[in-house]
Amino acid sequence: DQQVKQNSPSLSVQEGRISILNCDYTNSMFDYFLWYKKYPAEGPTFLISISSIKDKNEDGRFTVFLNKSAKHLSLHIVPSQPGDSAVYFCAASANDMRFGAGTRLTVKP
Amino acid sequence: DVKVTQSSRYLVKRTGEKVFLECVQDMDHENMFWYRQDPGLGLRLIYFSYDVKMKEKGDIPEGYSVSREKKERFSLILESASTNQTSMYLCASSPPGRGGLAGQEQYFGPGTRLTVT
């Protein structure tokens, strides 16, 4: 039972354009959401998070949006850079943490 | 700089062998976690620990056990390795969140790619 879903396994965008990665969840008890980035042969690294009491959190080029009524969050990267090419995992936390399957982002020069 | 290390990057074991995966963190974190990562399934939680000698089952504990004798070290044990345990294993740690569990961001090790033949 996947409580956190990333329905797009891959996304390709041009350098300088916006990347939008999406995530849906089913458990209304989740109250903290995170995005992780993973390069090949490395462990995931924390990117940005948002509490359920907010609907937006911004950190430089990265913005996370939360729509609680739709149980949906998204990560916007603007402008996208080739170094952003990685697998991005969405995660949601209640008493433990659940991860999505990941989306592979490729940013083309 | 925070650090989570795992004992091996690559490991090849035979079916039926007992396998130990070691994880050490230097951040004095209370929480430690073991995940496996498989294509299309993301990260699935095997076990976690919120204190020394404490352990909790995650989503897929069958075929695994864990040991946490010291705060900085969390070991994953495959009692009798099987081919369906071929996977990437990731260890993580975090400071306590709400209720001492996973409310904070986790710091991951580089992973151990285990192949069971």
What gap in Å lies between CA A25 and CA A67, rounded to an integer?
A: 11
Interface residue of B105, B107, B108 to substitute, partner A, most A CBs within 10 Å: B105
In this prediction, residue B74 carries a pLDDT of: 97
Q: Which residue has the tokens 């109250």?
A: A31
| Helix (H/G/I), strand (E/B), else coil: B88 | strand
pLDDT at B87 over 60: yes
pLDDT at A1 over 80: no
The two three-digit tokens of residue B50, written as one number:
């919120």
What average pLDDT is seen over chain A?
94
Residues from B in contact with A at Cβ < 8 Å: 4, 9, 33, 35, 40-45, 48, 58, 90, 92, 97, 99, 101-103, 105-111
Q: Which of B71, B105, B73, B110 is nearest to B89 (CA)?
A: B110
Determine which of A36-50, A60-74, B8-22, B76-90 has the lowest per-residue pLDDT on average: A36-50
In this prediction, residue B47 carries a pLDDT of: 94
Q: Which of A99, A29, A78 is nearest to B92 (CA)?
A: A99
Count Cβ atoms below 10 Å from residue B79 Cβ, excluding itself: 12
